[in-house]
Amino acid sequence: MLYYSLNRQSPKVSFKEATIKGQASDKGLYFPENIPVLPKMFFDNIGSYSKEEIAFNIIYPYIENEIPRNELEEIILEAINFDFPLVKINQNIFSLELFHGPTLAFKDVGARFMSRCLRYFVKEHDKHVTVLVATSGDTGGAVANGFYDVEGVTVVILYPSGKVSNIQELQLTTLGKNISALEVNGTFDDCQQLVKEAFADAGLNKELFLTSANSINIARWLPQQFYYFFAYQQWNDKDNPPVFCVPSGNFGNLCAGLLAHRSGLPVQHFVAACNANNAIPEYLSNGNFYPKKAVATLSNAMDVGNPSNFVRMLELFNREFGSLKNALTSYSISDPETIKTISDVHAETGYLLDPHGSVGYLSLKKYLQAHKKQKGIVLETAHPVKFHDVVEPIIDAQVPVPVSIKNLLGKEKKSQKINMDYNSLKEYLLS
């Protein structure tokens, strides 16, 4: 399998090269040359497969012989060695809980998969690798955990000061060793722009072996397909495929779901659940895409005004607006609506949503109100305890604290503050 740049101004590369480079030399995102389609028999018998067998069948065509089969199986095992339960909230809405990994967020799978692929690839290199990543919340912790103490790799995480939860901040600033955190005076989009400038800096790239761990990296993006297959395996009504509702910020997760559907996964429809950062809902409304400056919300991991994976979404539909609009609906949910939904769902069902899951739940509810015969799955992307300061006042109760979080509390964060200035970042990286 080869990968081409969506800017189409650089050569096609292997999975290994795409993983190591992160982004093409023409600043484009990598995209697979073809999309493998799984046979109908695979879906007919999906209940008989283990999670590891499902994941291997999905990812192998994208990697083929670039990683030996036994090594790839081990990478998959380490990336998904926790549960992905499908939990019924009410008659029509189910929650796919993606927060049972080490950092209690859905990004654990992609971060762990990519870190282990990179670990395998860098064995052949004599250069030290610097992983540069921007985070709006959960990516930072997942990447830090996934790459912690990986030999030959240094991780530098940029996050917007004051715009991540205290738990998220502790997860990305307290590990030490090969993990460093830069607290940027700006938004996530500012952090992402600094990362893109670094990759575009030819001089810097001569000095450092840079790669990215954001969902722009093919090895972070592709394994996110696993969630949708795991959900379908647990779906009881195979004659009536689910609607998938995805809380969306940089749109890597939703884009992976669309890719899974193109690979044959039965899906009724997709819903992109957005907060006040509504570039995609507006695009689907009028056909015009206008990047916006990100605004801060309670669902901070989705505070993205210019989602990088939008171009991949377009590519999946051959840049045909009508085809994309037929497959995808999007809603913008306000903070007051987010709060009310957490309160209502907890009071009515006992189920506790985090702010991102709340945005997803209400978006799915709105869609299903207009499509009465359908049922849906909301991807619950983070454990509510990561946003206890938001959730607890709403439900007037404490959120149970998992052991992994108890071990974080009381630790001292270690970060370096920088302004929204590329020279400051460059100086730090070269030092």
Active site residue 107: yes
Pairing of strands 93-97, 86-88: antiparallel
Distance CA 15, CA 22 (A): 10
* Whether the Cβ atoms of residue 206 and residue 180 lie closer than 8 Å to each other: no
Distance CA 33, CA 364 (A): 32
Candidate list 51, 107, 196, 386, residue with the active-site label: 107
Among candidate residues 354, 378, 379, the one with its CA nearest the CA of residue 366: 378
- 382: DSSP letter: B
Among candidate residues 181, 189, 184, 187, the one with its CA nearest the CA of residue 156: 181
237 contact partners, CB below 8 Å, separation of at least 6: 375
Pairing of strands 129-134, 416-419: unpaired
- The alpha carbons of the chain give a radius of gyration, in whole angstroms, of 20
Distance CA 153, CA 135 (A): 18
Distance CA 309, CA 294 (A): 16
* Residue 344 backbone zone (phi > 0: left; psi -120 to 50: alpha; other: beta): alpha
Residues belonging to the active site: 107
